[in-house]
Amino acid sequence: MAPAIGIDLGTTYSCVGIYRDDRIEIIANDQGNRTTPSFVAFTDTERLIGDSAKNQVAMNPSNTVFDAKRMIGRKFADAEVQADMKHFPFKVVDKAAKPVIQVEFKGETKSFTPEEISSMVLTKMRETAESYLGGTVNNAVVTVPAYFNDSQRQATKDAGLIAGLNVLRIINEPTAAAIAYGLDKKAEGERNVLIFDLGGGTFDVSLLTIEEGIFEVKSTAGDTHLGGEDFDNRLVNHFVGEFKRKHKKDLSSNARALRRLRTACERAKRTLSSSAQTSIEIDSLFEGIDFYTSITRARFEELCQDLFRSTMEPVERVLRDAKIDKSSVHEMVLVGGSTRIPKVQKLVSDFFNGKEPNKSNQPRRGCCVRCSRPGSHPFRRYIIQVHQRDSPLGRCAIVLRYRDRWWCHDCAHQAQHHYPHQEI
Question: Which position among 8, 115, 116, 266 bears the catalytic label?
Answer: 8
Q: With contact defined as beta carbons under 8 Å apart, do 162 and 140 qualify?
A: no
Question: Which position among 69, 157, 269, 343 bears the catalytic label?
Answer: 69
In this structure, how many other beta carbons lie within 10 angstroms of the beta carbon of residue 181? 23
Residue 173 appears among annotated catalytic residues: yes
The three-point CA angle 315-316-319 to 5° equals 90
The three-point CA angle 342-345-351 to 5° equals 135
**Distance from C-alpha of 323 to C-alpha of 364, rounded to nearest angstrom:** 26
Residue 86 appears among annotated catalytic residues: no
**Distance from C-alpha of 121 to C-alpha of 129, rounded to nearest angstrom:** 13
How many Å separate Cα 126 from the centre of its chain?
Answer: 18
How many Å separate Cα 286 from the centre of its chain?
Answer: 32
**Distance from C-alpha of 363 to C-alpha of 176, rounded to nearest angstrom:** 8
Question: Which position among 173, 230, 232, 266 bears the catalytic label?
Answer: 173
**Distance from C-alpha of 231 to C-alpha of 14, rounded to nearest angstrom:** 19
List, in sequence order, every beta strand (DSSP E) within 231-367. 277-286, 289-296, 331-335
**Distance from C-alpha of 164 to C-alpha of 332, rounded to nearest angstrom:** 37
Residue 67 appears among annotated catalytic residues: no
**Distance from C-alpha of 31 to C-alpha of 50, rounded to nearest angstrom:** 10
Q: 187: which residues sit within 8 A by CB, 6+ positions away?
A: none
Residue 8 appears among annotated catalytic residues: yes
Residue 150 phi/psi, 5° resolution?
-55, -45
Q: Nearest-CA neighbor of 225 among 379, 78, 369, 8?
A: 78
The DSSP code for 43 is -
- Secondary structure string (H, E, C) spanning 143-159: EECCCCCHHHHHHHHHH
Question: Which position among 51, 84, 197, 230 bears the catalytic label?
Answer: 197
The DSSP code for 376 is G
**Distance from C-alpha of 132 to C-alpha of 110, rounded to nearest angstrom:** 32
**Distance from C-alpha of 31 to C-alpha of 131, rounded to nearest angstrom:** 13
Q: With contact defined as beta carbons under 8 Å apart, do 3 and 353 qualify?
A: no
Number of residues assigned to the chain: 424
Q: In the beta sheet, which residues pair with residue 421?
A: 387
- Active-site residues, by number, are 8, 69, 173, 197
